[in-house]
Amino acid sequence: MKKIDKNLIEKLSSDLMLTLTDDEVKDIEANIPIFTGYIQQLQSIDTDGVEAMNYPFDAPTSWLRDDVVSHVIDQELAFENAPTREGDYFEIVKVVNK
């Protein structure tokens, strides 16, 4: 397993767009043995013969409603309150710097 240190914590928090104080980083560093213990417990579970699932229910869901189109507005009405528009698209401000 990759060594978890202050640099990795700060990189991950940046990637997740979280701002951590120095105290929060120290708190996370202090709890790393607990986190790695949980991970080791999970890795020790014998999953041989367990079929992978991509949906947690055996039966198909019948409790979800079918999508029904009930109200459609035209494109010009949709763009009426848009601050800026480029052709057939809303123009938005970039919020991620990566």
Question: What's the rounded Cα separation, in Å, for the pair 20 and 24?
Answer: 6
pLDDT per residue as tens, the chain (98 positions):
678 899 999 999 999 999 999 999 999 999 999 999 999 999 999 999 988 877 766 666 677 788 888 889 998 898 888 888 888 888 888 787 75
19 belongs to a structural domain: yes
Number of domains in the chain: 1
DSSP-derived 3-state class of residue 75: helix
pLDDT at 1: 62
84 belongs to a structural domain: no
Question: What's the rounded Cα separation, in Å, for the pair 72 and 49?
Answer: 49
pLDDT at 98: 59
pLDDT at 37: 93
80 belongs to a structural domain: no
Where does residue 71 fall: left (phi above 0), alpha (psi -120 to 50 degrees), or beta otherwise? beta
20 belongs to a structural domain: yes
72 belongs to a structural domain: no
33 belongs to a structural domain: yes
DSSP-assigned letters across all residues of 6-62 = HHHHHHHHHHTT----HHHHHHHHHTHHHHHHHHHHHHTS--TTPPP-SSS-SSPP-
30 belongs to a structural domain: yes
User: What range defines the domain where residue 33 resides?
Assistant: 6-43
